[in-house]
């Protein structure tokens, strides 16, 4: 064995330990990087060579740097994060929506009570001219409360649509990046590189994307990921297919003018709204279509029924001017939709409160109509369910039902979110426990590699000394 | 098997523990500050709905009770009027008895009684035109004018003014002039106005029989007013019962609302103290876990 071999073995030792130290440093640096999987340097001994028939060790080499990864947990996380994304966004949006509905519902409830109580006061004291003015005032306030609640629901719907648009933009950005990574990873592997960081980045993006839309992930033989979302391929190899949103007509639970989702995989955009079943995108659309839309329909139903009932009675009454068949509220025809938006006083009444009729005759003391209108508040005139059912609720009960239904939805979604979050946290915890960086471990590794690095340097020094000794023999 | 714990996990867990403890403490603090158990429907939708419906019911009943009290005032005015009418007719009856009892009374003496009876008749007219809050008590729906003119001609109607005194319970609060003043629909009903007219004619004409004929009518009128007062008393009793029931109901509803919505102060404050202790413990423990990493020692 030549003395040079000692130097070669020492040098390989130095290189291998340095590389291992670099990996350790990289692990330490990425201890807080989301999605980072710790890496391990795999050292193997060099095959020995025979010297005089004896196997002499050739030192060490770095076989590869592997990332600690479990594809099964990654798949579980993708599955569970889809539900988490949907539940999280629903719980968050409904919680905000609930606060708003409770406040506006309470205001509307107060206005309804005031309106009917003022009619009661008028019925008790029809001769008092100022009470008609009071009734007009409370009717105007009732109209404002309906508009305000309608506006709140409409704003909620718009905000959800904006978020839908935003989430689709994110899906496109991440999908594009995943497609690019698919290409880059294949190219790096074909060059013999081990693109651990790129794979980590792609896994992280896929997990992130899974929170936004229900995702099915498959891997081809070259290691490229194909992503199917909402029944449509969004990434295949290096190709990415854009998604877009567009307002469209009413369909099923979806109201007219709400956003629908389209995929551009072939020439004509194909609608995939119905196929999006999970993730933030589905959660946003479900909150919009299954909570806000029914609440809006419910509110419209209340506004419509109040208008119809009061108008029917008021038209039977006779004003002090002897005129009958006068509406109290603006006529809505048969159009229940948007009734809470259009709810308003009849222009005649708005202009002159004296046109409010209080009796079925033009006698000044006839209070029967005013009392009958006040009685509407006790009438069971609205269905128990948001979308129909037996008519057994008063106007106040129906409004409380609307608010409480939002509360029920919020409660359900929040509970399901908490449960799902616990599952995802557990999985994340598990992933972290094997793939996360432990600084103590890395510190020990550093000491371990540093010690061997120093020892290898020492071995080289010995080799150098040996060479010096040999060379000094010449002298 | 030992569980591997990554460094990021230590920090994430610390963050989760503190954040959960903080959330609980914040909920307890909110309950302590508001003394409310339920502040939003999702905390307990069923109880929230019951409380909301009860609050609406209370609000509606409050309005009804206010009007019931107004109706009581109206009925009191009617009752006072009837009492006054009884007095007036009673005095008229005394004068009529005086006039009819002396067979030798001269027309001059009738003339002496006549002005007082005429005055009493005008007082009766004034009484039957009594108004409360711009509404004549005997005018029916015709409240824009006095129901009786000075001659006693009636221009009102029999409209029943009904007032809601409890949810879905209405009672008429005015008396019908045709029944109480004109005796219509009553057995041996008396037309009070015609009785006065007959008496006045008898007195003016010195017709003692005419005066005597009015005596029974006057007594009948007093009975009629008594009947009216009985009706008023019945209505007032009914209103009072409704108001009593409202008060009981109000008390019970408020109790239920309070039980549903309000927090138990003892429990709230003990929860708050407990949650604050847990939060402090979580911060302290996690501070130790984070700080006592051997990394510094290892790399020294």
Kindly determine whether residue A411 and residue B43, on different chains, have CB atoms separated by under 8 Å: yes
* Residue B148 near residue A355 (C-beta atoms within 8 A): no
Q: Select from A114, A120, A200, A365 the residue whose CB has the most chain B CBs within 10 Å, as the one to mutate to test that interface.
A: A365
Per the domain annotation, does B15 fall within a domain? no
**Is the pLDDT score of A1 beyond 60?**
no
Kindly determine whether residue A443 and residue B157, on different chains, have CB atoms separated by under 8 Å: no
Per-residue model confidence as pLDDT tens digits over B245-289: 999 999 999 999 999 988 888 999 999 999 999 999 999 988 887
Say which residue, A254 or A417, is predicted with more confidence. Answer: A417
Q: Select from A67, A400, A417 the residue whose CB has the most chain B CBs within 10 Å, as the one to mutate to test that interface.
A: A400
Nearest CB to A127 within list B7, B66, B133 = B133
When divided into structural domains, chain B yields a total of 1
Tell me, what's the pLDDT at A257?
78
Nearest CB to B140 within list A125, A128, A365 = A365
In this prediction, residue B102 has a pLDDT band, given cuts at 50, 70 and 90, of low
Per the domain annotation, does B268 fall within a domain? no
Gap between the Cα atoms of A261 and A212, Å rounded? 13
Gap between the Cα atoms of A189 and B49, Å rounded? 63
What is the 8-class DSSP label of residue A291? Answer: I
Helix (H) or strand (E) holding A62: strand A60-67
Q: Select from A124, A415, A435 the residue whose CB has the most chain B CBs within 10 Å, as the one to mutate to test that interface.
A: A124
Domain residue limits at B253 = 63-257
Per the domain annotation, does B51 fall within a domain? no
B66: exposed, middle or buried (C-beta count within 10 Å: 0-12, 13-18, 19+)?
Answer: middle
Mean pLDDT of the residues in chain B: 89
- Span B22-41, average pLDDT: 90
- Span B91-109, average pLDDT: 77
Nearest CB to A436 within list B6, B71, B141 = B6
**ipTM at complex level:** 0.85
The secondary structure of chain B, three-state, reads: CCCCCCHHHHHHHHHHHHHHHHHHHHHHHHHHHHCECCCCHHHCHHHHHHHHHHHHHHHHHHHHHHHHHHHHHHHHHHHHHHHHHHHHHHHHHHHHHHHHHCCCCCHHHHHHHHHHHHHHHHHHHHHHCCEECCEECCCCCCCCCCCECCCCCECCCCCCCEEEEECCEEEECCCCHHHHCCCCCCCCCCCHHHHHHHHHHHHHHCCHHHHHHHHHHHHHHHHHHHHHHHHHHHHHHHHHHHHHHHHHHHHHHHHHHHHHHECCHHHHHHHHHHHHHHHHHHHHHHHHHHHCCCHHHHHC
Tell me, what's the pLDDT at B94?
92
Distances in Å between the Cα of A465 and the Cα atoms of A434, A447, A469, A474, B299 are 45, 26, 6, 15, 31
Percent of chain B exceeding pLDDT 70 equals: 94
In this prediction, residue A448 has a pLDDT band, given cuts at 50, 70 and 90, of very high
If phi > 0 it is left, if psi is from -120 to 50 it is alpha, else beta; for residue B38 that is beta
Tell me, what's the pLDDT at A265?
82
Percent of chain B exceeding pLDDT 90 equals: 63
Tell me, what's the pLDDT at A256?
77
* Residue A404 near residue B45 (C-beta atoms within 8 A): yes
Set of chain B residues whose Cβ sits within 8 Å of the Cβ of A95:
42
Per-residue model confidence as pLDDT tens digits over A94-138: 999 999 999 999 999 999 999 999 999 999 888 888 999 999 999
Tell me, what's the pLDDT at B182?
94
Gap between the Cα atoms of B100 and B208, Å rounded? 6
Range ranked top by mean pLDDT from A124-128, A298-302, A387-391: A298-302
Tell me, what's the pLDDT at B225?
95
Kindly determine whether residue A444 and residue B139, on different chains, have CB atoms separated by under 8 Å: no
Tokens of B255: 């109790």
Kindly determine whether residue B143 and residue A447, on different chains, have CB atoms separated by under 8 Å: no
Per-residue model confidence as pLDDT tens digits over B142-163: 988 899 999 999 999 999 999 9
Domain ranges of chain A: 3-68+440-474
- Span A51-68, average pLDDT: 88
Gap between the Cα atoms of B177 and B185, Å rounded? 11
Distances in Å between the Cα of A295 and the Cα atoms of A27, A338, A382 are 52, 12, 14
Per-residue model confidence as pLDDT tens digits over B206-244: 888 888 899 999 999 999 999 999 999 999 999 999 999
Distance from CA of A363 to the nearest CA of B (A): 5
Per the domain annotation, does B117 fall within a domain? yes
Kindly determine whether residue B16 and residue A425, on different chains, have CB atoms separated by under 8 Å: yes
Residue whose entry in the numeric block shows the structure tokens 């009729």: A357
Beta strands in A269-338 (DSSP E): 270-271
Kindly determine whether residue B8 and residue A437, on different chains, have CB atoms separated by under 8 Å: yes
**Is the pLDDT score of B292 beyond 80?**
no
How many beta-carbon pairs below 8 A join chains A and B? 169
**Is the pLDDT score of A347 beyond 70?**
yes
Gap between the Cα atoms of A144 and A151, Å rounded? 10
Tokens of A460: 């080289």
Tell me, what's the pLDDT at A392?
86
Percent of chain A exceeding pLDDT 70 equals: 99
Gap between the Cα atoms of A361 and B174, Å rounded? 18
Tell me, what's the pLDDT at A58?
87
* Residue B214 near residue B195 (C-beta atoms within 8 A): yes
What is the 8-class DSSP label of residue A287? Answer: I
- Span A246-254, average pLDDT: 79
Per the domain annotation, does B8 fall within a domain? no
Distance from CA of B125 to the nearest CA of A (A): 20
Per the domain annotation, does B35 fall within a domain? no
Set of chain A residues whose Cβ sits within 8 Å of the Cβ of B139:
365
Gap between the Cα atoms of A186 and A178, Å rounded? 12
Set of chain B residues whose Cβ sits within 8 Å of the Cβ of A435:
6
Tell me, what's the pLDDT at B294?
59
**Is the pLDDT score of B21 beyond 60?**
yes
Kindly determine whether residue A113 and residue B56, on different chains, have CB atoms separated by under 8 Å: yes
- Span A421-427, average pLDDT: 92
Set of chain B residues whose Cβ sits within 8 Å of the Cβ of A434:
4
Nearest CB to B49 within list A401, A440, A446 = A401
Say which residue, A222 or B111, is predicted with more confidence. Answer: A222
**Is the pLDDT score of A64 beyond 70?**
yes
In this prediction, residue A54 has a pLDDT band, given cuts at 50, 70 and 90, of confident
Kindly determine whether residue A440 and residue B295, on different chains, have CB atoms separated by under 8 Å: yes
CATH code of residue B229: 1.20.1330.10
Tell me, what's the pLDDT at B290?
74
* Residue A258 near residue A289 (C-beta atoms within 8 A): yes
Gap between the Cα atoms of A467 and B254, Å rounded? 101
Contacts for B229-232: CB closer than 8 Å, 24+ residues apart: B229/B79, B229/B82, B229/B83, B229/B86, B231/B175, B232/B75, B232/B78, B232/B79, B232/B82, B232/B175
Nearest CB to B70 within list A117, A124, A400 = A124
What is the 8-class DSSP label of residue A255? Answer: P
In this prediction, residue A29 has a pLDDT band, given cuts at 50, 70 and 90, of very high
Tell me, what's the pLDDT at B39?
83
Set of chain A residues whose Cβ sits within 8 Å of the Cβ of B172:
none
Distance from CA of B5 to the nearest CA of A (A): 5
Distance from CA of A424 to the nearest CA of B (A): 14
Gap between the Cα atoms of B286 and B14, Å rounded? 5
Nearest CB to B141 within list A365, A440, A443 = A365
Tell me, what's the pLDDT at B111?
75
**Is the pLDDT score of B106 beyond 80?**
no
Per the domain annotation, does B72 fall within a domain? yes
Tell me, what's the pLDDT at A200?
92
3-state secondary structure of A317: coil
Kindly determine whether residue A124 and residue B134, on different chains, have CB atoms separated by under 8 Å: no
Q: Select from B10, B54, B63 the residue whose CB has the most chain A CBs within 10 Å, as the one to mutate to test that interface.
A: B63
Per-residue model confidence as pLDDT tens digits over A196-220: 999 999 999 999 999 999 999 999 8
Tokens of B152: 């006693």
Per-residue model confidence as pLDDT tens digits over B149-204: 999 999 999 999 999 999 888 999 999 999 999 999 988 899 999 999 999 998 88
* Residue A276 near residue A285 (C-beta atoms within 8 A): yes
Distance from CA of A132 to the nearest CA of B (A): 15
Tell me, what's the pLDDT at B300?
58
Tell me, what's the pLDDT at B236?
94
* Residue B159 near residue B147 (C-beta atoms within 8 A): no
Pick from A201, A197, A220: nearest CA to A209: A201
Kindly determine whether residue B6 and residue A400, on different chains, have CB atoms separated by under 8 Å: no
Tell me, what's the pLDDT at A283?
94
In this prediction, residue A233 has a pLDDT band, given cuts at 50, 70 and 90, of very high
């Amino acid at each position: 064995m030549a003395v040079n071999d000692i130097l070669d073995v020492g040098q390989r030792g130095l290189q291998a330990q340095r590389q291992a130290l670099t990996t350790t440093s990289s692990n330490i640096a990425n201890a807080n990087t989301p999605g980072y999987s710790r890496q391990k340097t795999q050292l193997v001994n060099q095959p020995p060579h025979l010297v005089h028939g004896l196997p002499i060790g050739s030192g060490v080499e770095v076989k590869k740097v592997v990332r600690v990864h479990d594809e099964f947990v990654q798949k579980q996380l993708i599955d569970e994060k889809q539900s988490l994304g949907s539940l999280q966004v629903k719980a968050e949006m409904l919680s905000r929506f609930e606060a708003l509905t409770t406040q506006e519902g309470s205001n509307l409830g107060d206005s309804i009570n005031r309106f009917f109580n003022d009619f009661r006061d008028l019925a008790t004291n029809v001769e008092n001219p100022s009470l008609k003015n009071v009734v007009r005032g409370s009717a105007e306030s009732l109209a404002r409360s309906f508009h305000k609640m309608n506006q709140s629901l409409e704003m909620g719907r718009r905000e959800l649509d904006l978020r839908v648009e935003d989430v689709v933009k994110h899906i496109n950005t991440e999908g594009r990046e995943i497609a690019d990574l698919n290409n880059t990873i294949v190219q790096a592997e074909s060059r013999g590189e081990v693109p651990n960081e790129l794979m980590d980045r792609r896994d992280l993006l896929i997990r992130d994307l899974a929170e936004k839309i229900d995702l099915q992930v498959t891997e081809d033989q070259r290691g490229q990921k194909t992503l199917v979302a909402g029944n449509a391929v969004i990434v295949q190899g290096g190709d990415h297919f854009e998604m877009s949103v567009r307002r469209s007509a009413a369909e099923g639970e979806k109201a007219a003018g709400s956003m629908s989702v389209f995929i551009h995989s072939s020439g004509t955009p194909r609608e995939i709204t119905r196929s999006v079943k999970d993730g933030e995108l589905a959660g946003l659309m479900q909150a919009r279509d299954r909570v806000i839309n029914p609440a809006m329909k419910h509110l419209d139903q209340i506004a419509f029924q109040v208008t119809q009932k009061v108008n029917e009675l008021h038209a039977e009454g006779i004003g002090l001017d002897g005129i009958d068949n006068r509406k109290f509220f603006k006529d809505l025809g048969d159009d229940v939709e948007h009734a809470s938006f259009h709810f308003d006083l009849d222009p005649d009444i708005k202009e002159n409160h004296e046109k409010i009729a209080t009796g079925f005759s033009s006698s000044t003391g006839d209070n029967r109509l005013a009392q009958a209108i006040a009685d509407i508040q006790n009438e069971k005139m609205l269905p128990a369910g948001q979308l129909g059912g037996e008519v057994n609720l008063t106007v106040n009960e129906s409004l409380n039902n609307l608010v409480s239904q939002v509360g029920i939805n919020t409660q359900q979604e929040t509970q399901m979110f908490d449960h799902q979050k616990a599952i995802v946290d557990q999985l994340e915890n598990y992933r972290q426990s094997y793939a996360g960086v432990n600084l103590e471990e890395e510190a020990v590794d550093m000491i371990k590699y540093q010690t061997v690095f120093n020892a290898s340097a020492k071995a080289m020094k010995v080799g150098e000394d040996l060479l010096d000794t040999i060379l000094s023999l010449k002298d | 098997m030992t569980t591997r714990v990554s460094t990021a996990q230590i920090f994430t867990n610390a963050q989760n523990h503190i954040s959960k403890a903080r959330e609980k403490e914040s909920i307890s603090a909110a309950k302590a500050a508001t003394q409310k158990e339920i502040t939003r429907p999702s905390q307990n939708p069923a109880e929230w709905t019951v409380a909301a419906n009860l609050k609406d019911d209370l609000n509606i009943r409050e309005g009804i009770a206010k009007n019931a009290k107004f109706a009581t005032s109206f009925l009191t005015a009617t009752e006072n009027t009837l009492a006054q009418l009884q007095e007036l007719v009673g005095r008229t009856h005394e004068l009529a008895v005086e006039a009819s009892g002396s067979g030798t009374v001269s027309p001059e003496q009738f003339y002496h009684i006549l002005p007082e009876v005429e005055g009493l008749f005008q007082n009766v007219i004034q009484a039957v035109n009594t108004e409360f809050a711009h509404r004549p008590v005997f005018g029916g729906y015709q409240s824009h004018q006095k129901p009786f003119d000075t001659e006693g001609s009636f221009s009102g109607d029999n409209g029943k003014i009904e007032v809601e005194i409890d949810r879905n319970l209405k009672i008429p609060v005015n008396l019908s002039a045709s029944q109480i003043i004109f005796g219509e629909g009553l057995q041996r009903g008396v037309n009070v106005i015609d009785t006065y007219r007959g008496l006045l004619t008898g007195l003016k004409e010195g017709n003692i029989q005419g005066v005597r004929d009015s005596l029974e009518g006057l007594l009948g009128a007093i009975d009629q007013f008594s009947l009216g007062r009985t009706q008023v008393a019945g209505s007032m009793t009914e209103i009072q019962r409704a108001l009593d029931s409202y008060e009981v109901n109000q008390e019970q509803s408020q109790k239920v609302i309070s039980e549903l919505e309000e927090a138990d102060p003892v429990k709230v404050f003990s929860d708050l103290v407990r949650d604050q202790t847990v939060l402090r413990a979580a911060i302290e423990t996690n501070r130790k876990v984070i700080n006592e990493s051997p990394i510094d020692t290892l790399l020294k």
